[in-house]
Structure 1
Amino acid sequence: MVKKAATSANRRTDIVSAAIEVFAEIGYYRATTAQVAERAAISQPYVYRFFTKESLLVESLEVSWQRVLKAFQRVIESAPPEHLEIGLIRAYEEITASHRNEILLQMQAQTIRETPIREAMQQGMSQVKQLVQNAFQQAGFADANKRTSDFLARGMLCNVSMAMDMPDLMVKS
């Protein structure tokens, strides 16, 4: 029974990974669960065993937000205050380079109005904002709220720069 549970968990992960790719490449509204199933090399009914299309997007977004949060948490735990902000910037640049589809997915999801998707985006962004703001405050930054806002704005510009293949939009730190 343990082996079957492990296999189900692995297949679930495979489905989410495939969904991230498919949704990022062709968009949530144009994508189908059949395309996700094909990319994951499984049957469409097996996708439905775990997800609806909407819950699959929500799960995909949660995976992408957790990646950002974990990367930022690693920086916060290891960087001295004077290197905190640049460490967070570098961590995010690494994510945009190595997990581009997850960032593209987040960008698309910003415009989707369905409540569960909107809530997943709001929760993810709120968690990132709170984590960064707390880190800036604990590092003793007098302007932690403004720096957090600027940091998030820079991240959004980083996303646009990456999505549009316009690296000249970004000024290197």
Structure 2
Amino acid sequence: MRLLHTDNLPADHRLITKLDYLLFKNQSLFIVASASDFYFIIKKPAMFAHRAEEPGLNLYQTGFPRVVAAWMVDNIENKLWKSAAEGGLPSGTYFIDEDVGGENLKIRRTMHVGADQDKGFVLLNFSRPDLKFTEKNFQEIDISDRLLLKGGLLDVLKQL
């Protein structure tokens, strides 16, 4: 797999939406999907023009099998956002680690994501190596509760 450019996607991929990536200013989150996979693509201003993947922008991509979207929504809404008394995970458990769609995944609850240190999650895929940093053998993205609820990401995931 290679980094996807939202203005020149492969024929079997389509841009689902573009959201403000509310974790940091001047960054956008693109959701791209094919029949089998979906991708979070963060675009942020490049610090060094000669290292930009798109003119003036750096790209960061995290991919998952498409079936994982429903798994993410279910686990976030019904296990990680709820207390044990409400049917959520046992007290002191802040992550879910499972094989879904043939890939090793983890959702980790965190109290500090983004510039504002919001509550949120780290979504990790241990079955796909990072596309930019070869020493990193997994892909990950931080998302905040604010991005999920106010930013509209939860609704997008429900539609995938």
- The normalised TM-score by structure 1 is 0.25
Higher helix share: 1
Higher strand share: 2
Rg larger for: 1
Which one scores higher on RCO, CA 8 angstroms, separation ≥ 6? 1
- The normalised TM-score by structure 2 is 0.26
